[in-house]
């Protein structure tokens, strides 16, 4: 009997990420169209992603609660495309509930856990396979036909990728487990099993997470093999070479080359994307025939064992002993769960730092009438909505909420604190990113680099901007008239006329300001939060005189940071004034005409905090005098209107609220929030937001 006789096996798919959508779901849709399966349900923690996959591939339903789906009696096959821990935890639960299982690589976080999956499949009489499609390469089938029972005397497997500085995905320990294991498994498969001897090297000098691996292997029959895997390469390369006496067979992405006795035979066989449809078909065939397929978890688990040895730089005899039974999986799989929303950027960090927690989508909690005592934490990604009172009422054991952002205002933090819930955000990640940006603005503005840039773009040179058009002509006339006015006793009247015209003409004071070093400047920080503290640290290291005015920061803390606490008047008299206050009803328009009038000619005003800290009309009037320079990243109305007069001033450098928006910062924010939540759940002391701190935050 073949899979063509399958009576519409019913499928649950967990995970609608890019790899699943591009590689696996099209194959499953084709199998559905061929009458072999029914695509019943697609689950993903990202509700929008699940709904999109449902519509695109024709699933009957979508959901965010995969655990509940495992209890459905109308599901026969479970496909899981996620992290190593998800493959293990949900996969084990699926097998225990009598479902057949397909998981992508890495099949489990460890060889021990992979064996536990294989044991569960055997005990429950189910088929469990892993996504090692190289075993189904047509190129390998061709070579196996040629080799017969003779085997190979020497083999080479190379798998390189340009992933420099990119953390290993899918919850894998290293890039070997995340991707290179494909080539290592192919080598084991083609050579008939694990080697007898292994000599491995992992990592580079000074490396933290190994990304480069090499290994020499010898099998019991004396045959040898070489494995190379470098994920810091400049280009992707996957290649296999197999040798017999007088014969060489080479497999690349596009062809199989057979060389013997000086003759070459070429077969145009593409390996890119090959084997995926075949591995899914083999899974269905095994379910129907009740057989053990080539990619059963029991068959491919030894390759994970070998990968672990290579990752550890093992040298010696390879002894594959059945591992002791792993610790019992957390009962009911849902004993401790984390609620997540808009959490795609958080998932890699969660998989690494919180591998033993089940993840639950916010939509599933909102749609459920029951309490969820299993949920002990919540992690909210960028753009997530607040947890409503009805949601919180279902979470009696919620102890911490992590927000992947800086502002907490939209999440009703006071209500969370009143319930005894710790609230944490990505304060350090945002602070470091914004402080770095502010420091760059201060250096470039102090050097008059922004003015020089505008001059260069219009054919000029230097750092002293000159008025153009009618303004330029009026200034030239005024300079020619001044000696005559002085002789006639009219100089003071001419100067009074210039002062009256100054708001329209613009003062030349700034244009005459000479470039200077930041280390020779005095810098005032208005506010003493996490951003200004990070900035102060950078400035002090550059020997800058740092002055701080704050209504909440203690003088002792400011002095300990190497800065000087001063009055607001003293702060506004500095060479550079940088705003770092939260926006509250008390701080809205706290910088108005009186404060702006204190800025000295040639001063630089930086606002990377909130645009509404500064009264717009007062700011425009002060800047139109032309004797100060401003670097503005935030505005009261965003986006800044196209016709806003700030856009036409020569003494303003404008950016579109990008001080804290880099992709690097978002990655760091995810790491920080996941780290704080993980520390809290381990019983560590985590400093969360307080009511006093909330009163000063945006």
Helix (H) or strand (E) holding 658: none
Is the pLDDT score of 339 beyond 80? yes
pLDDT at 593: 95
- Residue owning tokens 């280009």: 235
pLDDT at 104: 95
| Residues 459 and 561 both lie in one domain | yes
Let me know if residue 330 belongs to a domain. no
pTM (predicted TM-score): 0.67
**Average predicted confidence (pLDDT) for the chain:** 88
| Residue 366 confidence class, pLDDT cut points 50, 70, 90 | confident
| Residues 89 and 126 both lie in one domain | yes
- Report the 10 Å Cβ neighbour count for 508: 17
pLDDT at 471: 56
| Residue 508 confidence class, pLDDT cut points 50, 70, 90 | very low
Number of domains in the chain: 5
| Residues 265 and 405 both lie in one domain | no
Is the pLDDT score of 503 beyond 80? no
Let me know if residue 386 belongs to a domain. yes
| Residues 403 and 535 both lie in one domain | no
Sign of the Cα pseudo-torsion (667, 669, 672, 677, in order): negative
Let me know if residue 307 belongs to a domain. no
pLDDT at 50: 93
Mean pLDDT check: name the lowest of 9-18, 446-455, 462-471, 586-595.
462-471
What percent of the chain has pLDDT above 70? 88
Residues 391/362, Cβ–Cβ less than 8 Å: yes
Is the pLDDT score of 532 beyond 70? yes
| Residues 189 and 267 both lie in one domain | yes
* Burial readout 297-331 (b: 16 or more C-beta within 10 A, e: otherwise): bbbbbbbbbbbbbbbebbeeebeeeebeebeebee
Let me know if residue 660 belongs to a domain. no
pLDDT at 327: 34
| Residues 542 and 614 both lie in one domain | yes
Residue 200 half-sphere exposure, CB side, CA atoms within 13 Å?
25
Residues 150/123, Cβ–Cβ less than 8 Å: no
Is the pLDDT score of 4 beyond 50? no
| Residues 640 and 555 both lie in one domain | yes
Is the pLDDT score of 498 beyond 90? no
Let me know if residue 320 belongs to a domain. no
Let me know if residue 395 belongs to a domain. yes
| Residue 621 confidence class, pLDDT cut points 50, 70, 90 | very high
Mean predicted confidence (pLDDT) in 175-199:
94
- Quote the strand ranges of 521-591, DSSP E: 522-526, 545-549, 564-565, 576-579
pLDDT at 507: 45
Name residues whose C-beta falls within 8 Å of residue 598's C-beta, 6 or more positions apart in sequence: 569, 572, 573
pLDDT tens, residue by residue, 379-406: 998 888 889 999 999 999 999 999 998 7
469-to-474, 501, 512, 627 alpha-carbon distances in Å? 9, 16, 19, 20
Is the pLDDT score of 59 beyond 90? yes
Which residue blocks in 125-219 are alpha helix, DSSP H?
138-147, 175, 181-191
454-to-88, 93, 355 alpha-carbon distances in Å? 58, 64, 52
| Residues 233 and 220 both lie in one domain | yes
pLDDT tens, residue by residue, 193-246: 999 999 999 986 555 578 899 999 999 989 999 999 999 999 999 999 999 989
pLDDT at 474: 61
pLDDT at 117: 95
Determine the Cα–Cα distance for residues 157 and 143; give it in Å rounded to an integer. Answer: 14
Let me know if residue 239 belongs to a domain. yes
pLDDT at 115: 92
pLDDT at 500: 56
Backbone angles phi, psi at 160, to 5 degrees: -120, 145
Mean predicted confidence (pLDDT) in 12-32:
95
| Residues 343 and 368 both lie in one domain | yes
Which of 245, 276, 307 is a domain's end point?
A: 276
Let me know if residue 322 belongs to a domain. no
> The domain spanning residue 646 has which CATH number?
3.40.50.720
pLDDT at 477: 64
What the block records as the tokens of 259 is: 């060389």
- What range does the domain containing 515 cover? 432-467+506-654
Helix H, strand E, coil C: the string for 33-84 is: HCCCEEEEEEECCCHHHHHHHHHHHCCCEEECCHHHHHCCCCCCEEEECCCH
| Residues 169 and 289 both lie in one domain | no
What the block records as the tokens of 551 is: 């209504």
| Residues 80 and 227 both lie in one domain | no
| Residues 452 and 400 both lie in one domain | no
pLDDT tens, residue by residue, 318-327: 988 655 433 3
pLDDT tens, residue by residue, 440-465: 999 999 999 998 898 898 888 888 76
Mean predicted confidence (pLDDT) in 658-662:
86
Determine the Cα–Cα distance for residues 515 and 438; give it in Å rounded to an integer. Answer: 18
- Over its C-alpha atoms, the chain yields an Rg (Å, rounded) of 33
Is the pLDDT score of 1 beyond 70? no
Determine the Cα–Cα distance for residues 49 and 15; give it in Å rounded to an integer. Answer: 9
Is the pLDDT score of 631 beyond 60? yes
């Amino acid at each position: 009997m073949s899979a063509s006789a399958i009576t519409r096996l019913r499928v649950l798919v967990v995970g609608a990420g890019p790899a699943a959508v591009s590689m696996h779901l099209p194959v499953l849709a084709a199998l559905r169209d061929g009458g072999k399966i029914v695509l019943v349900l697609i689950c993903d923690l990202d509700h929008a992603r699940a709904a999109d996959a449902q519509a695109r591939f024709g699933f009957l339903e979508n959901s965010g609660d995969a655990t509940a789906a495992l209890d459905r009696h109308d599901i026969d096959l479970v496909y899981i495309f996620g992290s190593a821990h998800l493959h293990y935890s949900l996969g084990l639960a699926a097998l225990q509930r009598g479902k057949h299982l397909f998981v992508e690589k890495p099949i489990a976080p460890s060889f021990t856990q992979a064996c536990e999956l294989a044991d569960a499949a055997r005990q429950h009489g189910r088929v469990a396979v892993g996504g090692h499609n190289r075993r189904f390469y047509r190129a390998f089938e061709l070579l196996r036909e040629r080799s017969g029972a003779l085997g190979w005397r020497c083999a080479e497997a190379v798998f390189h990728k340009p992933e420099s500085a990119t953390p290993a995905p899918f919850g894998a320990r290293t890039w070997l487990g995340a991707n290179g294991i494909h080539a290592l498994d192919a080598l084991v498969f083609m050579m008939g099993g694990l080697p007898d001897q292994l000599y491995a090297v992992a990592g580079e000098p000074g490396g933290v997470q190994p990304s480069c691996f090499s290994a020499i292997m010898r099998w019991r029959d004396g045959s040898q093999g070489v494995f190379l895997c470098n994920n810091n390469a400049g280009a992707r390369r996957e290649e296999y070479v197999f040798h017999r006496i007088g014969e060489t067979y080479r497999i690349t992405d596009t062809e199989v080359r057979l060389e013997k006795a000086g003759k070459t035979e070429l077969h145009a066989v593409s390996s890119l994307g090959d084997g995926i449809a075949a591995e899914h078909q083999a899974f269905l065939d095994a379910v129907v025939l009740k057989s053990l397929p080539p990619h059963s978890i029991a068959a491919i688990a030894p390759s994970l064992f070998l990968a672990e040895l290579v990752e550890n730089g093992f040298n010696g005899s390879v002894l594959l002993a059945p591992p002791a039974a792993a610790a019992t999986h957390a009962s009911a799989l849902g004993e401790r769960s984390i609620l997540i929303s808009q959490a795609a950027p958080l998932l890699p960090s969660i998989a690494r730092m919180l591998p033993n927690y089940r993840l639950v989508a916010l939509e599933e909690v909102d749609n459920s009438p029951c309490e969820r005592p299993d949920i002990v934490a919540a992690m909210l990604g960028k753009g997530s909505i607040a947890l409503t009172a009805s949601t919180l009422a279902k979470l009696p054991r919620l102890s911490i909420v992590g927000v992947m952002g800086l502002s907490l205002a939209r999440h009703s933090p006071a209500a969370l604190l009143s319930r005894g819930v710790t609230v944490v955000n990505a304060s350090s990640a945002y602070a470091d990113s914004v402080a770095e940006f502010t420091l760059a603005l201060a250096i470039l503005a102090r050097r008059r680099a922004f003015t020089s840039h505008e001059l260069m773009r219009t054919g000029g040179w230097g750092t002293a901007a000159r008025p153009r058009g009618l303004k330029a002509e009026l200034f030239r006339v005024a300079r020619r008239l001044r000696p005559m006015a002085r002789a006639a006793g009219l100089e003071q009247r001419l100067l009074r006329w210039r002062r009256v015209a100054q708001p329209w003409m613009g003062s030349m004071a700034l244009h005459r300001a000479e470039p200077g070093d930041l280390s020779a400047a005095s810098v005032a920080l208005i506010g003493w939060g996490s951003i200004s503290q990070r900035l102060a640290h950078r400035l002090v290291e550059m020997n800058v005189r740092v002055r701080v005015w704050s209504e909440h920061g203690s003088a002792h803390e400011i002095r300990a940071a190497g800065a000087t606490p001063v009055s607001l008047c003293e702060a506004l008299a500095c060479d550079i004034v940088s705003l770092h206050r939260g926006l509250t009803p008390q701080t809205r328009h706290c910088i108005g005409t009186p404060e702006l009038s204190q800025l000295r000619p040639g001063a630089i005003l930086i606002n990377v905090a909130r645009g509404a800290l500064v009264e717009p009309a007062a700011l425009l009037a002060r800047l139109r005098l032309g004797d100060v320079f401003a670097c503005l990243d935030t505005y009261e109305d965003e986006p800044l209107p196209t016709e806003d007069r700030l856009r036409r001033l020569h003494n303003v450098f404008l950016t579109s609220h990008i001080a804290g928006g880099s992709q690097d910062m978002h990655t760091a924010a995810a790491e920080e929030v996941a780290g704080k939540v993980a520390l809290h759940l381990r019983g560590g002391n985590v400093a969360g937001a307080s009511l006093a701190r909330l009163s000063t935050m945006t």
